[in-house]
Structure 1
Amino acid sequence: MRPLLTATVAVTAVLATTLSAAPAAAQAPDRSRAPSYADVLDLRGAPATAHPGGTKESTTNPLNVFADRGAWHAYALPEQRDPTTWGGFSGPLYIAQEYPWWLSRTFSRLRLTERGRTLDLAGGGRPQFTSLPGVLRQTYRLQGGLRLTLELRYATNRTALVRARVGNTGRTTRTLGARWTGSLLRPAKQPMRTAPRLRATRTGVGVDFARVREKWDYLTDGTERFQVRHAERVRTSVGGDRYRTDLARPLRVRAGHRVTLDWTESYTFTGAERRREAGRAARALARPHAVAAAGAARWRGYVRKANRGVPAERRRLAVKSVETLVTNWRSAAGMLRHDGVTPSVSDKWFAGGFWAWDSWKQAVGTARFAPGLAKDQIRSMFDHQITRHDRDRPQDAGMVPDAVFYNDTAHGGGNWNERNSKPPLAAWAVWEVYRATGDRGFLREMYPKLAAYQAWWYRNRDHDHDGLAEYGATVDPANRTPEDARLAAAWESGMDNAPRFDAALGTKTLVNRDRHGAKTGYSVNQESVDLNAYLAADQGYLARIAGALGHRRAAASWRGRAAAVHRAVRATMFDRRTGWFYDTSLGGHRLVARGRGIEGAVPLWTGTATRAQARAVRKALLAPGEFGTRVPFPTVARSSPYFDPTAYWRGPVWLDQAYFGVRGLRRYGYERDARRLTHRLLREAAGLSGNGPIRENYDPLTGKGLNARNFSWSAALILPLL
């Protein structure tokens, strides 16, 4: 039996107390110490202001953060050059329902004292700050043989567990005091400036939030709380925006032993969540070793699965992709009924909601290491699939909205979007999850929803009823004018500002009506090659799903429908003279003058193209003056008059389209080309081979990362690319 010293102190009725000391050598090995996966992402830094973009009104947070288990608050590590943040974790960054804000530079800074003197955390040398899969770690060597290690990991989807281990390598017992201090970072503007308020509690300190309904900046209901609970008895005092918490009794650390101080930091939205989390936090404090062991085991599983089949030199990138997706994981809250993955916690507009085609692509990547989360993010979108009983849009039965957030429009949300849908890749995602799990129950659950989604496209987005669909818009108050509807249709494609949807180039919207003459929505006056290739591919996946469920007739029907759409795309959308696929006008004219767009390579991924057509597309994909740029697969060919390497969908490289391009080349036997382009992509896109963040998109000429940092669908599709 290993030596163990346990001291019990008075606590409140709802929280357990653990203060234990044991020989350092007796501690179980920490298998999360995987040297090759340390700091795959640079998580060091502390905010200067509550606004995540710093002093500027930027929408992108320059600091990378860590979260886990779907929590709505996240942390970073201190920096060596900033001792004012040592002894605590930067933040937290909390999401005010839909928008991220920094609560503090370092909310819980630990200091050790001895005989009334604060001990220097750098007294024995410079500290070390390290991120590992699933844990943030700080190590300090103090003078006189003391060593302090801080670790932060998540115990639940609302609570982080912090463990401070104080080890004594000296020859005499040390008697120490422990003190935590922190202060608020307030937003600069009202009414959010006065929203947070500190208050002392019997077990630590809390922050209450006033009700603020600033649609585009800050949303709280007045029930949110951030709360720190200590396992040991403490005393807290609050003065304005600062607090101080002191350990109620001295900490005795025998020679050759160490003691552990444990506390939790929870962020909850409602009173019911807060009451539930009190019990969960108490259990975490009662069994912190179990929390740490379970977290380490879960992350070992993530890493092992994500790296299956990945070459050794690319495994750090695979782990970075996993960390990106897990940090962007948000658990069910508000109108979000299932867990899902947001595009990026680092971007103001991407932190508090889920998008449809993002979710389909993210599920494909997540299924490789966390298939349960992959299922839930698909469900999170279909939870809001429109039904024929919908009060506002029964004509859209079967549609999956573009984006769903913590708040829908009825609850004051401005980001919720039913003006349009997104490209139909859901059946592909469901099938990939099935491949990872073998769960036929999930197929049975999703099959009728997927079928209804397919039916909606042909009922509401085929203006001329020729079996080829168009992108479009719904009957919605936000689609008041033809220009509003055209913009929503471009959003529906996912390629918002692509040249092929420019009004100046002739794109306009047409009204769609049902057989009774009632308006059902709008279509643009062109049939898009990617949309119809996606539809054909999803019909093929529906055939597989139906077959796996034993629905033979349905499977045959889906295969027949898919074949017909593939034939139509091949026959009408490929231009022999230029060797590329294009959108066509409703009259069947190929829109060649708008230039080549990366959507013309999608028929390779879907298997739509003939062998001859694939050869021609391959030629353009490899040509340096077309799509074979320094970072390959720009969204618009370099030869196009509309090419702009930094303008969102007018030139930058998006990794989902690169994935479709690589897989398309492989599908037609161009394996060597696919490997070479993948290698170049991963080498030249900034940050992928180092510790920089995975970006939303990349400049094809320089490799510079563009737009949002820590972008989920990029991370998700890196995994199968690897």
Structure 2
Amino acid sequence: MLDRPAPTAAAALTLRRGAARVLIDNWTGSSTVPSRTLYPHQWSWDSAFIAIGLRHLSARRAQRELESLLAGQWADGRIPHIVFNPALPPDAYFPSPDFWQSSSTGRAAGAPPSPETSGIVQPPVHALAAWLVHRADPAESRRRGFLTRVYPRLVAWHDYLLTRRDLGGAGLAAVVHPWEPGMDNSPCWDRALQRVEPAAPDAFHRADLNHGNPADRPTDLDYGRYVRLAADYREAHYDDRVARHRFAVEDPCFNALLIVSELALADMARDLGRDGAPHRTRADELTGRLVSRLWDDTAGLFRVRDLATDTLVDERSVTGLVPLVVPHLPDDLVKRLREALDGPHFKAASTWLVPSYDLTGHAFDPQRYWRGPAWFNTAWLIQRGLRTHGLGTDAERLRQGFLAEAARSEFAEYVDPATGAARGARRFSWTAALTLDLLRSDPEESTP
């Protein structure tokens, strides 16, 4: 495979200015929306990725991004996947604040009286983002007491995941809705979703189809199941101790990001004059559990575990490759994952990005959301993982592919892995933010 040339200085400057303009345009005054049309509120893991890029423009604005998200944190420690903007009409997005009813139905679980939020979560990349933001301008961070304020909140977030969400009893965090791992309609969830009776079609209105191509989005059947699961969780007052979770899985990406963020908490603790050893111990223990619970040696990648059947799901997805980001992953597993990236299931030679699902899989669709298209945030995570494990040539190839496709697609939400055709929303915030990060002058700056 021939390497793509790095962008010229002029092209890199144009790309940087374009990415910065996306983030400026999507800024609301306290946070950044993923998209002005399709996603008009604040999303959890989006804001973490956005902060990682914003730190190259303004460390203080990056801090505010995370602080705004944490203002919606619940007393039980969970960081909700959406923090709603009260200035927008209720029908701007569905499920709306009126559906989630966080301030009333979620009160017993610790939901704040305001702002209104959803009741579910997203992957825990926040501590990594907070640590990188701090490192961008330590003096400003210390002047504002940034780490002092966010560290205990992030500790509570991890504690929630490893206590209330240890539904399998084996020490990994479980997700209870397909929206929680962030890969909403991945084929990895299909088997578990078959156990869920969908909500009636007239019980909800899909605002996403007002701005998104139906061919790009989840089907009505899947959406009905998402609504049913969210409604059931709401009826249990979002209490994980009593909720009957008909969907519960252990996801490799979710837990890998928890490990990386535990290591970031260790660094934060050390910077604050505290003992970081407990976080490093926890990260080591989680790494062992990730390998023992979710590694499939025959397939050479990590799998999702369905807790209803206590079996691994026989699907190859990008979630099984993201654990490359874990620093102390065994060397033989790193080798197998690198081989998987370069094999027939994930090698998209045209774009060099990583498809979200097996190119040869029965459910592959190059257009529909997480069922095949290549995403920029997972590419960022995988290139970080490759660099972490000393695979600099592979990481640089993926970085150059990322930058080329971000420029060509006008910072699309995701792209067709074969053709590079832009899909989903355009001028998407995390694509722009992570473009800024990969344009930094020192490619080693944000790796461990």
Range class of TM-score, shorter chain: 0.7 to 0.9
CA distance in 2 between counterparts of 1:406 and 1:467 reads 35
Amino acid in structure 2 at the alignment position of 1:528: D
* Counterparts in 2 of 1:563 and 1:588: CA distance versus 1, 3 Å: farther
Q: Are the aligned partners of 1:572 and 1:588 in contact in 2 as well (CA < 8 Å)?
A: no
Which residue is equivalent to 1:602? 322
Deviation, 1:525, is 3.4
Q: Please give the secondary structure, in 2, of the residue aligned with 1:421.
A: coil
Q: What amino acid is aligned across from residue 77 of structure 2 in structure 1?
A: G
Give the counterpart letter for 1:612 in structure 2: D
Q: Following TM superposition, by how much is the alpha carbon of 1:573 offset from its aligned partner in structure 2, in angstroms?
A: 1.4
Q: Are 1:550 and 2:273 counterparts? A: yes
C-alpha separation between the residues in 2 aligned to 1:462 and 1:517? 10
Change (3 A) 1:500 1:539: same
Change (3 A) 1:381 1:710: same
2 CA distance for matches of 1:533 and 1:588? 19
Provide the C-alpha distance between the structure 1 equivalents of 2:417 and 2:90, rounded to a whole number of angstroms. 41
| Structure 2 residue 86 is matched with structure 1 residue 407 | yes
1:410 deviates by 12
User: 327, 338, 344: which is aligned to 2:25?
Assistant: 327
Q: Does 1:677 align with 2:394?
A: no
* CA distance in structure 2 between the aligned counterparts of 1:455 and 1:310, rounded to whole angstroms: 46
Alignment of 1:453-602 (within 5 A): 453-472=157-176, 489-503=177-191, 519=242, 522=245, 524-552=247-275, 555-586=276-307, 589-591=311-313, 593=314, 595-602=315-322
Asked whether the equivalents of residues 497 and 649 of structure 1 are also in contact (C-alpha less than 8 Å), the reply is yes
Q: In the TM superposition, what whole-angstrom CA distance separates every residue of 1:576-614 from its partner, at most 9, and x where no partner exists?
A: 2111111123365322x2x21001111111225311111
- Using the TM superposition, give the Cα deviation of residue 676 of structure 1 relative to its aligned residue in structure 2, in angstroms: 2.0
The answer on whether the counterparts of 1:511 and 1:519 sit within 8 Å (CA) in structure 2 is no
TM superposition shift of 1:318: 1.7
How far apart are 1:405 and its partner, in Å? 2.2
Q: Are residues 1:611 and 2:299 paired?
A: no
- Whether the 8 Å contact between 2:122 and 2:182 is mirrored in structure 1 is yes
Report deviation, 1:556: 1.2
Aligned counterparts of 1:623 and 1:682: Cα–Cα separation in 2:
22
3-state SS of the aligned residue for 2:417?
coil
**Aligned match for 1:433, one of 133, 147, 157:** 133
- Residue of structure 2 aligned with 1:647, choices 368, 384, 409: 368
In 1, the alpha carbon distance for the partners of 2:129 and 2:245 equals 27
Paired with 2:278 and 2:8, the residues of 1 have a C-alpha distance of: 38
2:123 is the alignment partner of 1:423:
yes
* Cα distance in 2 for residues equivalent to 1:550 and 1:313: 43
* Structure with a larger share of its residues in helix: 2
- The code of the aligned residue for 1:713 comes to W
Q: Deviations over 1:224-278 (max 9, x none)?
A: xxxxxxxxxxxxxxxxxxxxxxxxxxxxxxxxxxxxxxxxxxxxxxxxxxxxxxx
- How far is 1:315 from its partner? 2.4
SS at match of 1:666: helix
Q: 2:412 corresponds to which letter in structure 1?
A: R
Other-structure match for 1:342: 33
Task: Provide, for residues 40-97 of structure 1, a one-character-per-residue CA deviation record: whole Å limited to 9, x for no partner.
Answer: xxxxxxxxxxxxxxxxxxxxxxxxxxxxxxxxxxxxxxxxxxxxxxxxxxxxxxxxxx
* Paired amino acid for 1:459: T
C-alpha distance in 1 between matches for 2:394 and 2:240: 51
Contact between 1:567 and 1:608, CA under 8 Å: does it hold in 2? no
Structure-2 change in CA distance of 1:401 and 1:520 (3 Å): same
Q: How much does 1:651 deviate?
A: 0.7
SS at match of 1:519: coil
| Partner Cα separation in structure 1 for residue 195 and residue 324 of structure 2 | 26
Q: Which of 1 and 2 has higher RCO (CA within 8 Å, sep 6+)? A: 2
1:76 matched to which residue of 2? none
Cα deviation for residue 710 of structure 1 reads 0.4
Match of 1:635 in 2: 356
Residues 573, 581 of structure 1: 8 Å contact kept: yes
Paired residue for 2:53? 365
Q: Does the residue aligned with 1:701 lie in a helix, a strand or coil?
A: coil
- Equivalent AA in structure 2 for residue 442 of structure 1: F
Q: Could you list the per-position Cα deviations for residues 163-187 of structure 1 after superposition, in whole angstroms to 9, with x for gaps in the alignment? A: xxxxxxxxxxxxxxxxxxxxxxxxx
Residue 511 of structure 1 and its aligned partner are, at CA, apart by 8.6
2:183 maps to a residue whose letter is M
Give matches, 1:37-52, under 5 Å: none
* Aligned pairs for 1:1-150 within 5 A: none
Query: In structure 1, the residue corresponding to 2:370 is in which secondary structure?
Result: coil
Q: Deviations over 1:485-505 (max 9, x none)?
A: xxxx11111111111111467
SS at match of 1:649: helix
The one-letter code of the counterpart of 1:695 is A
Question: Which string of whole-angstrom CA distances, capped at 9 and with x for unpartnered residues, describes residues 331-356 of structure 1?
Answer: 1xxxxxxx1111122x2x323x1111
Looking at structure 2, the residues matched to 521 and 574 of structure 1 have their Cα atoms a distance apart, in angstroms, of 27
Cα distance in 2 for partners of 1:720, 1:410 equals 33
- Report deviation, 1:507: 6.4
Measure how far apart 1:620 and its partner are: 1.6
CA distance in 2, matches of 1:503, 1:590: 11
Q: CA deviation at 1:679?
A: 2.3
Q: Which has the higher strand share?
A: 1
Question: Over aligned residues, Cα RMSD in angstroms?
Answer: 2.8
Partners of 1:517 and 1:327 in 2: how far apart? 38
Matching of residue 442 in structure 1 with residue 146 in structure 2: yes
Give, in whole Å, the separation in 2 of the partners of 1:408 and 1:466. Answer: 43
CA shift for structure 1 position 625: 4.4
Tell me the secondary structure at the aligned position of residue 245 of structure 2.
strand
Within the alignment, does 1:314 sit opposite 2:16 as a pair? no
Provide the rounded CA distance (Å) in 1 between the counterparts of 2:192 and 2:241. Answer: 29
Question: What secondary structure, in the 3-state scheme, does the structure 2 residue paired with 1:688 have?
Answer: helix
- Give, in angstroms, the shift of residue 523 of structure 1: 6.9
- Label 1:518 to 1:494 Cα distance change in 2 as closer, same or farther (>3 A): closer
TM-score by length of 1: 0.48
Kept in 1, the 8 Å contact 2:35–2:428? The answer is yes
User: For residues 662 and 579 of structure 1, what CA distance do their matches in structure 2 show?
Assistant: 18
Whether the 8 Å contact between 1:511 and 1:523 is mirrored in structure 2 is no
Contact 2:355 2:373 in 1 (8 A): yes
Q: Which amino acid aligns with 2:400?
A: H
Report the CA distance shift for 1:412/1:517 in structure 2 as closer, same or farther (over 3 A): closer
Match of 2:155 in 1: 451
Match of 2:108 in 1: none
Quote how far apart the aligned CAs of 1:640 are.
1.5
- For the 8 Å contact 1:470–1:523, the answer to whether it is kept is no
Whole-angstrom CA distance in 1 between matches of 2:24 and 2:233: 42
The alpha carbon displacement at 1:506 in A equals 5.7
Q: 1:140-190: per-residue Cα shift (whole Å, max 9, x none)?
A: xxxxxxxxxxxxxxxxxxxxxxxxxxxxxxxxxxxxxxxxxxxxxxxxxxx
Q: How far, CA to CA, are the matches of 1:310 and 1:453 in structure 2?
A: 42
The answer to whether the 8 Å contact 2:174/2:251 transfers is: yes
Q: 1:681 to 1:582 in 2, by over 3 A?
A: same
Unaligned runs of 5+ residues in structure 2 are 1-6, 98-116, 197-228, 440-448
Q: Secondary structure at the match of 2:169?
A: coil
Amino acid at match of 2:78: M
1:621–1:628 CA contact under 8 A, matched in 2: no
> CA, structure 1 residues 507+630, in 2 after alignment: closer, same or farther (shift >3 Å)?
farther
How many equivalent residue pairs?
A: 370
1:643 Cα shift?
Answer: 1.1
Identity value in percent: 31
Amino acid at match of 1:589: T
The counterpart of 1:694, out of the listed 404, 411, 422, is 411
TM-score, normalised to structure 2, is 0.76
Q: CA deviation at 1:426?
A: 1.0
C-alpha contact (below 8 Å) 2:164/2:240 kept by paired residues: no
Q: Distance in 1 between matches of 2:57 and 2:8?
A: 13
Q: Distance in 1 between matches of 2:331 and 2:86?
A: 48
Rounded Cα–Cα distance in structure 2 between residues aligned with 1:373 and 1:343: 16
